[in-house]
């Protein structure tokens, strides 16, 4: 299992700032919960040197540059002013898969590109990677507003869907092999996208997230303390109904889901892992009792639901004693998606 750190301590600063502001203090604008992805690191607060290095590695042109990160400035409906960067490998498959890779709070798409290995895996396996950036002051994705939690309702999910539509219209891609993954804020957005657009995604993988709608708030708040602290509990059917009601006309096969969480997470409580398992097993019509359990590495317990093999509809990995700064194993994500030539 990849042991590189994923989630940044920058989140703590964001939360403190949020609380200072709420109490009338002068904390800088910031929003809940940040995380980063593997590769070397949890640089989600990203030092300026990391940020400038990341920016220098990307082109600002809409013209595709194979093997380099480049920005797409006009990709369609974008109500929340997201930025889009794209990585197209030189060895692009015919009828290529697409991966939407969603960053943590305080991060950017180029930083997520730099701090994860999805681009090098794309080089090996020939898929396209989309790296969105949330541009609001918190650099968190909107997983709380009613607009964001409604199919085609506005905010970030609409922009993310437009990015996928752009890739579908400009490249020879397989619409049946579109995937999404994210860390922390990006993990929560992964859940949102899977719930709102089951007709788009074949599978998703999220690291340190919460169930769909758990983070819902009223007004302009981006933070839901009850959810973050693990105090929101529902039956499996109640959680499942929330997903089904997000797109009630959908009658197709639901996306497969891979979940990761550390038992010592003090930012998004570990209870959210169990609640998310309840949600997605119910969505798939499965029991919450695993069909298979193993320990793929020290401190990691993997459970599979609906199948004992690698093609299980729901796969969950619990990391003993690990906090919000959990390691992100991109190779396991790609394996679960079947992008490595497997299932």
Question: Mind telling me the catalytic residues?
Answer: 184
Residue 122 CB contacts under 8 Å (≥ 6 apart), including other chains? 87, 89, 99, 128, 129
Query: Dihedral (C-alpha) 335, 131, 18, 13: value to the nearest 10 degrees?
Result: 70
Contact 209, 32 (CB under 8 A): no
- Beta pairing partners, 101: 181
Residue 116 CB contacts under 8 Å (≥ 6 apart), including other chains? 37, 38, 39, 101, 328, 330
Nearest CA among 340, 9, 322 for reference residue 177: 340
- Beta pairing partners, 318: 261, 301
Contact 334, 258 (CB under 8 A): no
- Beta pairing partners, 72: 84
- Beta pairing partners, 315: 258, 304
Give buried/exposed letters for 126-146 (b at 16+ CB in 10 A, else e): bbbbbbbbbeeebbbbbbbbe
Q: Return the half-sphere exposure (C-beta side, CA atoms, 13 A cut-off) of residue 243.
A: 29
Contact 180, 194 (CB under 8 A): yes
Both tokens assigned to 81: 């002013």
């Amino acid at each position: 299992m990849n042991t590189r750190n994923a989630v940044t301590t920058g989140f703590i600063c964001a939360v403190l700032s949020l609380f200072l502001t709420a109490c009338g203090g002068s904390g800088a604008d910031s929003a809940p919960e940040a995380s980063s992805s593997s590769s070397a690191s949890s640089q989600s607060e990203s030092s300026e040197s990391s940020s400038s290095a990341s920016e220098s590695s990307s082109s600002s042109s809409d013209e595709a540059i194979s093997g380099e990160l480049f920005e797409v400035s006009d990709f369609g409906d974008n109500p929340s002013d997201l930025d889009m960067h794209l990585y197209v490998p030189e060895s692009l498959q015919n009828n290529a898969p697409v991966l939407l890779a969603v960053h943590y709070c305080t991060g950017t798409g180029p930083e997520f590109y730099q701090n994860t290995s999805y681009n090098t895996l794309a080089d090996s396996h020939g898929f396209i990677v989309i790296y969105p950036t949330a541009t609001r002051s918190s650099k968190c994705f909107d997983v709380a507003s009613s607009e964001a939690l409604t199919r085609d309702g506005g905010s970030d999910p609409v922009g993310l869907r437009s990015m996928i539509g752009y890739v579908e219209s400009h490249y020879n891609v397989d619409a049946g092999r579109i995937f999404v993954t994210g860390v922390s804020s990006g993990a929560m957005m992964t859940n949102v996208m899977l719930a709102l657009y089951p007709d788009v995604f074949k599978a998703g993988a999220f690291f340190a997230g919460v169930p769909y709608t758990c983070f819902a708030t009223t007004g302009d708040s981006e933070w839901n303390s009850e959810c973050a602290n693990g105090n929101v509990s529902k039956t499996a059917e109640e959680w499942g109904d929330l997903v089904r009601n997000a797109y009630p006309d959908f009658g197709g096969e639901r996306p497969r889901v891979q979940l990761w969480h550390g038992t010592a997470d003090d930012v998004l409580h570990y209870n959210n892992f169990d609640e998310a398992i309840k949600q997605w097993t119910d969505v798939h019509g499965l029991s919450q009792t695993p069909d298979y359990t193993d320990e793929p590495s020290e401190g990691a317990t993997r459970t599979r639901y609906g199948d004992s093999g690698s093609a299980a509809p729901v796969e969950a990995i619990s990391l003993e004693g690990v906090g919000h700064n959990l390691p992100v194993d991109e190779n396991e994500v790609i394996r679960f998606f079947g992008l490595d030539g497997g299932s």
